[in-house]
């Protein structure tokens, strides 16, 4: 497949070093992995980032203890375990924070935070990816298979005689149309059909969605169908979010996603307020600040990864 001109993602050597640090210590790490690591280290910036991480790990290691009184041995053993637990907790927290980025780095097609990109697939179909989105594509078999890992995509399908199926977590979407949108949000997933039909299958439940309809679904159920306006649904492709009586929590979440942040609402009732309006996705910081002032909310950023709303 050939990609249309787009901004390339710039990987962070420190974040990639963290990924390699974890992978090299897995029981299943083989020679191929180590050779790939060696090639990655050929870049000076990568080697430097990994050396810094390794040095930090070495500093946390407790040196072998000399023969000392029993009380000192117990104290040193306790401190060593405490340091190890703290380091593992820190490593786990970092992995959790950077998990979305790691998913995008491991995916075949992906966009960075704030980036939108269009890709023409090998079968002639066109895929439009929203900010911080990732997708894997396999067009080799009799069934064309796509997997939405995160974010939101709009798909223009070229019919070539083969079926197409999109996987979204545990759900499957069988495509019988030529234009549709699929999105993964914090609390649910979404399908919008703009032309033709698509069948959502979640466990033993299934729902046929026709043009001009949308449906949301979770691991537990498929929700009732709703009518949708095509212009409103596709507004993100031009950098806008058009909200018509939309829950405030969803508006904040989608704006925060354009900053690479996850949202934590202190007051759960705030999420259910209804708002309408046009919001700029290309200036998410300014838009969020104006929305917070209008709704009498306070915003707090944490480590550039979380947005606390109260």
User: pLDDT for 213-251, tens place per residue?
Assistant: 999 999 889 999 999 999 999 999 999 999 989 999 989
Q: Is the pLDDT of residue 7 over 50?
A: no
**In a shared domain, residues 189 and 274:** no
Q: Is the pLDDT of residue 95 over 70?
A: no
In-domain check, residue 197 = yes
Segment among 2-6, 191-195, 206-210 with least mean pLDDT: 2-6
Which of 200, 232, 264 terminates a domain? The answer is: 232
Domain count, the chain: 3
In-domain check, residue 2 = no
In-domain check, residue 64 = yes
DSSP string of the chain, one letter each residue = -EEPS-PPP---HHHHHHHHHHHTTSTT--HHHHHHHHHHTTSHHHHHHHHHHHHHHHHHSPPPPPS--HHHHHHHHHHHHHHHHHHHHHHHHHHHHTHHHHHHHHSSEE--TT--EEEE-TTS-EEEE-TT-EEEEE-SSSEEEEEEEESEEEEEPPP-SSEEEEEETTEEEEE-SSEEEEEE-SS-EEEEEEESEEEEEETTEEEEEETTEEEEE-SS-BPPPEE--HHHHTGGGGTEEEEEEEEHHHHHHHHHHTTT-EEEESSGGGGG-EEEEEEESSSHHHHHHHHHHHTT--EEEETTTEEEE-
Mean pLDDT of 50-75: 62
In-domain check, residue 273 = yes
**In a shared domain, residues 214 and 267:** no
**In a shared domain, residues 196 and 272:** no
Which of 77, 105, 133 terminates a domain? The answer is: 105
Q: Is the pLDDT of residue 61 over 70?
A: no
Mean pLDDT of 51-61: 70
**In a shared domain, residues 114 and 217:** yes
**In a shared domain, residues 139 and 216:** yes
In-domain check, residue 4 = no
What are the tens digits of pLDDT across the range 140-175? 999 999 999 999 999 999 999 999 999 998 999 999
Which structural domain range is residue 215 located in? 107-232
- Closest Cα to residue 18, out of 79, 115, 87, 110? 87
Task: Count CA atoms within 13 Å of residue 180 on its CB side.
Answer: 28
**In a shared domain, residues 170 and 73:** no
Predicted pLDDT of residue 1: 45
In-domain check, residue 199 = yes
Which of 84, 105, 126 terminates a domain? The answer is: 105
| Separation of alpha carbons 91 and 83, rounded Å | 12
Predicted pLDDT of residue 185: 87
What are the tens digits of pLDDT across the range 10-43? 567 777 877 777 777 777 677 888 888 888 788 8
Whether this model's pTM surpasses 0.85: no
**In a shared domain, residues 79 and 170:** no
| Separation of alpha carbons 129 and 113, rounded Å | 11
What are the tens digits of pLDDT across the range 248-278? 998 998 898 888 888 888 888 888 899 999 9
In-domain check, residue 90 = yes
Better-scored residue on pLDDT, 31 or 9: 31
| The CA-based dihedral angle spanning residues 148, 151, 156, 160, taken in that order and rounded to the nearest 10 degrees | -10
| Separation of alpha carbons 306 and 257, rounded Å | 10
**In a shared domain, residues 297 and 210:** no
**In a shared domain, residues 100 and 152:** no
Residue-wise over 114-152: b if at least 16 C-beta within 10 A, else e? Answer: bbbbebebeeebebbbbbbbbbebebeeeebbbbbbbbb
In-domain check, residue 1 = no
**In a shared domain, residues 112 and 170:** yes
């Amino acid at each position: 497949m050939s990609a249309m001109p787009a901004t390339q993602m710039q990987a962070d050597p420190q974040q990639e070093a963290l990924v390699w640090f974890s992978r090299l210590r897995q029981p299943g790490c083989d020679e191929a992995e180590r050779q790939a690591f060696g090639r990655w280290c050929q870049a000076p910036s990568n080697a430097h980032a990994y050396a810094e991480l390794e040095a930090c790990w070495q500093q946390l290691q407790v040196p072998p203890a000399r023969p000392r009184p029993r009380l000192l041995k117990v104290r040193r053993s306790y401190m060593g375990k405490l340091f190890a637990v703290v380091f593992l907790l820190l490593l786990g927290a970092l992995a959790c924070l950077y998990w979305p980025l790691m998913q995008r780095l491991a995916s075949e097609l992906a966009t960075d935070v704030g980036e939108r990109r269009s890709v023409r697939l090998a079968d002639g179909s066109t895929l439009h990816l929203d900010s911080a989105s990732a997708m894997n594509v396999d067009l080799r078999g009799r069934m064309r298979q796509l997997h939405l890992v995160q974010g939101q995509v709009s798909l223009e399908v070229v019919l070539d005689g083969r079926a197409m199926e999109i996987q979204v977590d545990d759900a499957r979407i069988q495509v019988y149309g030529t234009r549709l949108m699929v999105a993964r949000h914090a609390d649910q997933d979404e399908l919008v059909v703009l032309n033709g039909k698509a069948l959502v299958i979640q466990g033993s439940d299934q729902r046929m969605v026709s043009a001009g309809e949308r449906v949301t679904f979770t691991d537990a159920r498929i929700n009732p169908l709703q009518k949708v306006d095509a212009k409103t649904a596709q507004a993100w492709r031009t950098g806008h979010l058009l909200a018509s009586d939309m829950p405030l929590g969803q508006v904040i979440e989608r704006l925060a996603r354009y900053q690479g942040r996850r949202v934590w609402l202190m007051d759960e009732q705030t999420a259910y307020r209804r708002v309408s309006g046009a919001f700029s996705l290309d200036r998410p910081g300014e838009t969020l600040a104006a929305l917070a002032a209008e709704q009498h909310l306070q915003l707090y950023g944490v480590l550039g990864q979380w947005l606390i709303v109260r």
